[in-house]
Amino acid sequence: MREITYAEAIREALRQEMSLDDNVFIFGEDVGQFGGCFGVTAGLYEEFGPERVMDTPISESAILGAALGSALMGLRPVPELMFSDFTTVCFDYLTNQAPKVRYMCGGQVEKLPMVVRTTTGGWIRAAGQHSQSLEGWFTQVPGLKVVTPATPHDAKGLLTACLRDNNPILYLEHKVLYSVSGPVPEEEYIVPLGQAEIKKEGTDVTLISYSLMLNKTLSVAEQLAADGISAEVIDLRTLSPLDHDTLARSVQKTHKAVVIQEAVEVGGVAAQVVKSLVDSSFEYLDAPIKTVAACNTVIPFSPPLEDAMLPNEEKILAAAKEVLG
């Protein structure tokens, strides 16, 4: 199968869906003629024109507001926020607005298709306000789905699924993964939302992660395999709603779990996964569940500091070894 990058896979999902459905349109800062600050939407403006790929002023509230309003009217907007760190300036739309409209109007509106694409994560030396992993905040909003691919294959399939979903969705693309290549089918396909995937089967310990950390976790699983340890690696893919069943089945099999997230260690998806496992599989656990996360501090600029503060393979390996005893 041909290999393309994570960024190209996202672009392909967008292009294929925009060709199939005239209601799908993209807008955001620099997405049009510039092709996006990370190059993800390159070529789409030329192919679909300014009515379907629209450049905007620096106005995140106006961007998400326009997305919500047009979704209410039957269009399928795909607004882009350049960095997830900027969700803060348009927070209302991801919390009080889009996720609540259908509920508060008693279902007068049924479809609310709004896929908010944004970038996440660190390691690009962009410091405290451009490197965060903020997905945790949004998993606590009922009515909003949160999705994040770890591979080019999932990037295309998950995004296609999001574009066909009829709910407000926050779709997080890790900046470092943009240039990573992987096998991606040429035709359109979906990767279902709400389903975690066992990326590597195993028997001795369950390692649960997502996004860039999932890739680091897979490397650690290989290192463990060299030591004769069979780790099962689960990619959450959809952070909200969580796939509790896949998590339970795995941990009931391996009896040990480590949860890895790039976000800071206080709160977040890892804490939710721990709660899920405690609720479903407490009697099956042979050891306390460990989590690996960033230090609870601001992401510093200086490269050695950033590298030390964010979770890495050493920390993941150490945590796995600890639960294995």
Partner 1 sequence: MELSKEKLLDMYKTMVSIREFEQSLSEAVTAGTLPGFVHLGIGQEAIHVGVTTALRPTDWVSSTHRDHGMLLARGADIKRMRAEIFGKVTGYCKGKGGSMHLAAFDKGAPGCNGILGPSQTINNGIALALKKRGQGDIAVVVFGDGAAHRGEFHEALNLAACWKLPVLAICVNNQYAISVCFDDACAIEDIAARSSGYGIPGLVVDGNDVMAVYEAISETAKSIREDKGPALLELKTRRFKGHFEGDPQSYKTPEEVAEEMKNDPIPLFVKQLLEQEITTEETLKGIDDEVKKEMQEAIEFAEQSDYPPLEEIFTDLYYEERRNV
Question: Which of 244/321 has CB closer to partner 1?
Answer: 244
Partner residues linked to 228 by β-bridges? none
Q: Which of 93, 138, 171, 178 binds partner 1 (CB under 8 A)?
A: 93
Q: Which of 84, 97, 139, 250 binds partner 1 (CB under 8 A)?
A: 97
- Indicate which residue of 8, 12, 60, 197 is catalytic: 60
Shortest Cβ distance from residue 144 to partner 1 (Å)? 10
Instruction: Count residues binding partner 1 (CB under 8 A).
Output: 42
Q: Does 115 bind partner 1 (CB under 8 A)?
A: no
Shortest Cβ distance from residue 316 to partner 1 (Å)? 30
Shortest Cβ distance from residue 278 to partner 1 (Å)? 18
- Indicate which residue of 8, 17, 130, 262 is catalytic: 130
Stretch that binds partner 1, among 3-11, 129-137, 142-150, 173-181 (CB under 8 A): 142-150
User: Within positions 147 to 176, which residues make up the interface with partner 1, using CB under 8 A?
Assistant: 165-167
Please say whether the beta carbons of 156 and 17 come within 8 A.
no
Question: Which of 57/228 has CB closer to partner 1?
Answer: 57
| Nearby residues of 213 by Cβ (< 8 Å), 6 or more positions away | 260, 261, 262, 292, 311, 316
Rounded to 5 degrees, φ, ψ at 124 are -110, 10
Shortest Cβ distance from residue 117 to partner 1 (Å)? 17
Q: Which of 19, 33, 103, 203 binds partner 1 (CB under 8 A)?
A: 103
Dihedral, CA atoms, 202, 245, 184, 263, nearest 10 degrees?
A: -90
To the query of whether residue 130 is one of the catalytic residues in this protein, the response is yes
| Nearby residues of 247 by Cβ (< 8 Å), 6 or more positions away | 196, 206, 208, 234, 273, 276, 277, 280, 281
213-242 as b/e, with b when 16 or more CB fall inside 10 Å?
bbbbbbebbeebeeeebebbbbbbbbbbeb
Please say whether the beta carbons of 298 and 114 come within 8 A.
no
Q: Identify the residue whose tokens are 């609870």.
A: 296
Stretch that binds partner 1, among 48-56, 178-186, 295-303, 305-313 (CB under 8 A): 48-56
Shortest Cβ distance from residue 189 to partner 1 (Å)? 19
Distance CA 278, CA 248 (A): 9
Distance CA 67, CA 76 (A): 8
Question: Which of 59/219 has CB closer to partner 1?
Answer: 59
Q: Which residues bind partner 1 (CB under 8 A)?
A: 51, 54, 56-57, 59, 61-62, 64-75, 77, 92-93, 96-97, 102-112, 142-143, 145, 165-167, 241
